[in-house]
Chain A
Amino acid sequence: MTETVMDRVLFGDNQFFGVNHMSEEKAREQAVRFRDSSAIVATLDIALDEGIRTLMCTTHERMAEVCAHMRADPGRYRDYVFYPCMPYAHKYNDAVAELGMMGALRKFAPQGPARALLAGGRSAAGRNVDPLVRLLVDAEMKMFQGLSTPVVFLQNVVVDFLMGLGFEEAFRVFADHIAEKYEAEPGFITMNLPALVDVLDRLGIANPIICSNINKAGFRMCGGVEQYERTLRERRFRAIAMSIMASGVVPPQEAVEYVASLPNIEAVVFGASSKAHIRQTKELVDAYMGRERDGQLNMNGS
């Protein structure tokens, strides 16, 4: 499959759903501000007018309203691109707390594959979770029907959880399903970049798209800044940098300057609510990392 050419600047969505690593009060204020999906769309429009046309977004149920809005206006959003990040973990976490592991499985995957899986053989070999993984992916992808989703991500909490357990085969199943059914590229978000690069390498997932925190402060970069820099220099993968300002610890210019000084970073994802912040970050990335590539083929490493 051809490798996707990613835009240099991607828009994130934490600010829309009351996630703020800095302050609970700020998170609540944002939740109030964005309680209506039209406020989300208005902010996406500001970003779009600044030339940011890719939204990297959680499969939060409220995102379905945004998707519907964009589907309804193909003129304005013809070139708009979604990078879904699945799953919205709280949904599953809450269900497991309420219904238990088995109950949650039945709730989210009532159809054939789950029933077969739960009935299972009486042996480990009979417990094939692959159909279940595909079913869950399909459920999360429903809201994006008819929209462009060239890259589909697995969220860090799931990636790092599965990697920690040693449940790595799930990445293979996910990657294959995304490629086959959605003709898209799999992406992986992680807080443990060096470890994940090793795992994906071992699984034979070539030149994968990996999104991780990359910032001067080393904030949530497990393995440390040096190992991250070495991984970026020496390993073959396509990096997306998130949390470049480390939740406000690194000033914007310094943050972008640092990321621009590293090799192999294809894109930067950031979330912001105000026009001023969106424009500032976009301009900084353009200045330090070059403008959009206007659809040129990315020849990185290949």
Chain B
Amino acid sequence: MIRIGVVGLGRMGLSHLSIVRPHPEVEVVGVCDTSRFVLDVMKRYTGLQGFRDYGALVESASPDALVVATPSGSHAQICEYALERGVSTFLEKPLALTLESGRRLVELAERSSLVTQVGYHFRFVPSFEEARRWLDRGLIGRVHHFRVAAYGPTVLRPRGKTWRARRSEGGGCLYDYASHAANLVTYYFGAPEAVGGTVVRSVFSEDVDDEVYATLYYPGGLTGQLCANWSDASQRKMSMRFEIWGTEGKIIADRQECQLFLGNEPESASGLHAGWNVRHVSDLIPPVRYYVRGEEYTRQLDHFVESVAQKRLDNTNSFASAFETDVALEMIRVDADRASRTSVPDAGSVATGTASHGVAETPG
């Protein structure tokens, strides 16, 4: 049995708890939250022992592993505490809010030989995994460009009372949406060499960004664009779409399906053919032991539990891997602050009839 403690009983913490508790090889030995109300209700209805302080949970319940789903600003502190006491850690994304603390966590994880994982669940969505397999097989030739877009309806008004609306605690579209997009980018291509032309700005929020657009540069000429916007009311929930252009074809992946266009008939007998090849998620999806809100959420936690049981350190989304995402996010953040732009003096002097469509002014 793996003894697990869950720290932070907000949306993600409760979701993780509901998925991990039915695991036949897991015993949930305690839960931690700052809200006495939540702990009382949990105690009464689920029998779970509650703690107001994660230190007390670790000391008195002796978990083998923690699932940490607290506001991002507290990630580093809690994970350091856990790893220093020999407790493996599953952490909600992102890893850390500064490269310095992220690096410290990666070093600590490596020194302690403990299993670490960050909740970048898109790596467990079958269509994005299939895209990775197609890339690994070189099916679309030399890849020269990609575009990843994450849109959703999270912030549609200038209010918001939770930590997600506060920059100091790691709120904002960059850490919430763009982090998932950047993680898929590093899954396929690693961390970029440089970032340029970035826009990170608010649409509605007072203290945090609501949309992120950036160009990513790689050695060898590969470029990509990352778009994230959590103020898109047209979406029912967060969407993710990855498009990749190569010299021999193109890949499009989203949560439901994975499509491959091949310019020529492939050489090997792969079941693929020239033109469009489509794989639906229902064809690809592996069965899971327990389903709450998407197979990927179960698969990532099962992967973590299995890694802890087998002491496997080369698991998916380890702290070291998630740090690559942090690096990409940091480049985006710094480039946005720089706000460099190019214009040609006097270029507009002979232009006529250019309509204005109420283009937004970029602050700063």
A235 to B174: give the CA distance in the assembly, Å.
Answer: 49
Closest to A190 in B: B291
Interface status of B2 (Cβ within 8 A of chain A)? no
Q: Separation in Å of the A74 CB from the closest CB of chain B?
A: 33
Which B1-55 residues have C-beta < 8 A from chain A? Answer: 10-11, 14-15, 17-19, 21-22, 35, 37-38, 40-48
A23: which of B15, B43, B257, B287 is its contact (CB, 8 Å)? Answer: B257
Interface status of B237 (Cβ within 8 A of chain A)? yes
Closest to B165 in A: A98
B10 x A124 contact (CB < 8 A): no
A205 to B330: give the CA distance in the assembly, Å.
Answer: 54
Asked, given contacts A99-B162, A217-B282, whether A129 binds B256 with beta carbons under 8 Å apart, the answer is no
A21: which of B157, B162, B256 is its contact (CB, 8 Å)? Answer: B256
Binary contact readout B236-265 vs A (1 if CB under 8 angstroms, 0 otherwise):
110101000000000000111100000000
A65 to B35: give the CA distance in the assembly, Å.
Answer: 39
Q: Separation in Å of the A159 CB from the closest CB of chain B?
A: 9
Asked, given contacts A98-B162, A220-B291, whether A247 binds B21 with beta carbons under 8 Å apart, the answer is no
Q: Separation in Å of the A243 CB from the closest CB of chain B?
A: 9
Closest to B293 in A: A157
Interface status of B153 (Cβ within 8 A of chain A)? yes
B46 x A167 contact (CB < 8 A): yes
A18 x B236 contact (CB < 8 A): yes
A17 to B290: give the CA distance in the assembly, Å.
Answer: 26
A125 to B45: give the CA distance in the assembly, Å.
Answer: 10
Interface status of A103 (Cβ within 8 A of chain B)? yes
Interface status of B154 (Cβ within 8 A of chain A)? yes
Asked, given contacts A101-B10, A101-B38, A127-B40, whether A249 binds B283 with beta carbons under 8 Å apart, the answer is yes
B291 x A94 contact (CB < 8 A): no
B37 x A120 contact (CB < 8 A): yes
A221 to B292: give the CA distance in the assembly, Å.
Answer: 12
User: Is the contact region of chain A dominated by helix, strand, or loop, or is it mixed?
Assistant: helix
Chain B residues, CB < 8 A from A247:
280-282
Closest to B230 in A: A97
Closest to A20 in B: B256
A124 x B40 contact (CB < 8 A): yes
B15 x A161 contact (CB < 8 A): yes
Interface status of A24 (Cβ within 8 A of chain B)? yes
A224 x B287 contact (CB < 8 A): yes
Q: Separation in Å of the B230 CB from the closest CB of chain A?
A: 10
Chain A residues, CB < 8 A from B44:
124-125, 127
Which B267-293 residues have C-beta < 8 A from chain A? Answer: 280-283, 285, 287-293
Which A36-84 residues have C-beta < 8 A from chain B? Answer: none
A162 to B244: give the CA distance in the assembly, Å.
Answer: 40
Binary contact readout A162-186 vs B (1 if CB under 8 angstroms, 0 otherwise):
1111110110000000000000000
Q: Separation in Å of the A80 CB from the closest CB of chain B?
A: 27
Interface status of A298 (Cβ within 8 A of chain B)? no
Q: Separation in Å of the A51 CB from the closest CB of chain B?
A: 29
A165 x B18 contact (CB < 8 A): yes
Q: Separation in Å of the A161 CB from the closest CB of chain B?
A: 5
Interface status of B138 (Cβ within 8 A of chain A)? no
Interface status of A248 (Cβ within 8 A of chain B)? yes
Interface status of B160 (Cβ within 8 A of chain A)? yes
Chain B residues, CB < 8 A from A94:
153-154
B21 x A166 contact (CB < 8 A): yes
Chain B residues, CB < 8 A from A124:
40-41, 43-44
Chain B residues, CB < 8 A from A123:
40
Asked, given contacts A97-B164, A100-B162, A192-B291, whether A23 binds B280 with beta carbons under 8 Å apart, the answer is yes
Q: Separation in Å of the A264 CB from the closest CB of chain B?
A: 22
A195 x B162 contact (CB < 8 A): no
A46 to B196: give the CA distance in the assembly, Å.
Answer: 54
Asked, given contacts A20-B256, A101-B35, A120-B40, whether A164 binds B237 with beta carbons under 8 Å apart, the answer is no
Chain B residues, CB < 8 A from A266:
none
A283 to B343: give the CA distance in the assembly, Å.
Answer: 66
A164 x B282 contact (CB < 8 A): no
A94 to B15: give the CA distance in the assembly, Å.
Answer: 14
Closest to A19 in B: B236
Interface status of A13 (Cβ within 8 A of chain B)? no
Which A91-129 residues have C-beta < 8 A from chain B? Answer: 93-94, 96-103, 118, 120, 123-127, 129
A127 x B291 contact (CB < 8 A): no
Chain B residues, CB < 8 A from A19:
236
Interface status of B357 (Cβ within 8 A of chain A)? no
A160 x B292 contact (CB < 8 A): yes
Which A1-52 residues have C-beta < 8 A from chain B? Answer: 17-24, 27, 31
Can you list 26 residue pairs at the A/B interface with Cβ under 8 Å? A21-B256, A27-B236, A93-B11, A98-B162, A99-B160, A99-B161, A100-B162, A101-B10, A124-B40, A124-B44, A125-B44, A157-B292, A160-B290, A160-B292, A161-B15, A164-B21, A164-B290, A164-B292, A165-B18, A166-B46, A166-B48, A167-B45, A167-B46, A220-B291, A222-B288, A249-B280
A-to-B contact residues, CB < 8 Å: 17-24, 27, 31, 90, 93-94, 96-103, 118, 120, 123-127, 129, 157, 160-167, 169-170, 191-192, 195, 217-224, 246-249
- 5 shortest interchain CB distances as A-B pairs: A164-B18, A191-B291, A124-B44, A166-B46, A124-B43
5 extra interface residue pairs, beta carbon distance < 8 Å, beyond A161-B293, A164-B292? A22-B257, A24-B239, A101-B35, A160-B291, A166-B47
